[in-house]
């Protein structure tokens, strides 16, 4: 497993597959069971990338059945330092138009019916969720949107690049 390394992990959907051409699918074992699928190892601009299909390549896992602990542990095992996980979702905010990119800085976790921690005991561990997103990756995403003239919303749904 020592040779299998990546610095950036991407958890994405079927629309992401077209970005990655050369590489190999590898099976990663974790103490949390199987990840959503095998992990695709590739390179992009001399960066080692690990791509994991969020719902599986056959789109077989609904959101509440995704083994996120196994997914994240697989990335940890590969040495991943940063994770990019774009999602597609709707919005009730009329300012968010179809095709807009929302760069989140906070979230409300409304998932239920699955384990919500890596820490099952015997030690009790408390982690803050006050700042869940990497500020450096957010800035990179914002700069990329400006550079490529992509409509996006960031903190407090302030519209940029309109």
Task: Tell me phi and psi for residue 159, to 5 degrees.
Answer: -75, 135
153: β partners? 102, 159
How far, in Å, CA of 93 to CA of 115, rounded?
Answer: 30
Q: How many helices (H) and strands (E) does the chain have?
A: 2, 8
148-160 pLDDT per residue, tens: 999 998 765 555 5
Structure pTM? 0.86
SS3 call for 67: coil
pLDDT in tens, 65-120: 999 999 999 999 999 999 999 888 888 888 888 888 899 888 887 777 888 888 88
Extents of the domains making up the chain:
1-87, 89-162
Beta strands in the chain (DSSP E): 8-12, 24-26, 39-44, 47-53, 82-84, 101-102, 152-154, 158-160
What is the pLDDT averaged over residues 134-142?
93
Q: What is residue 78's predicted lDDT score, i.e. its pLDDT?
A: 98
């Amino acid at each position: 497993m020592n040779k299998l390394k990546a610095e950036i992990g991407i958890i994405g959907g079927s629309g992401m597959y077209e970005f990655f051409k050369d590489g190999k699918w590898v099976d990663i074992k974790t103490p949390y069971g199987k990840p959503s699928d095998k992990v695709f190892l590739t390179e992009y601009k001399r960066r080692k990338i690990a791509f994991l299909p969020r719902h599986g390549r056959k789109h077989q896992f609904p959101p509440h059945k995704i083994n996120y602990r196994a997914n994240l542990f697989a990335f940890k095992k590969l040495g991943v330092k940063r994770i990019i996980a774009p999602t597609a979702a709707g919005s009730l905010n009329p300012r968010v138009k179809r095709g807009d990119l929302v760069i989140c800085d906070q979230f409300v976790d409304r998932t239920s019916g699955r384990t919500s921690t890596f820490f099952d005991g015997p030690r009790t561990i408390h982690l803050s969720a006050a700042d869940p997103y990497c500020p450096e990756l957010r800035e990179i995403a914002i700069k990329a949107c400006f550079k490529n003239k992509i409509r996006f919303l960031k903190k407090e749904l302030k519209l940029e690049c309109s």
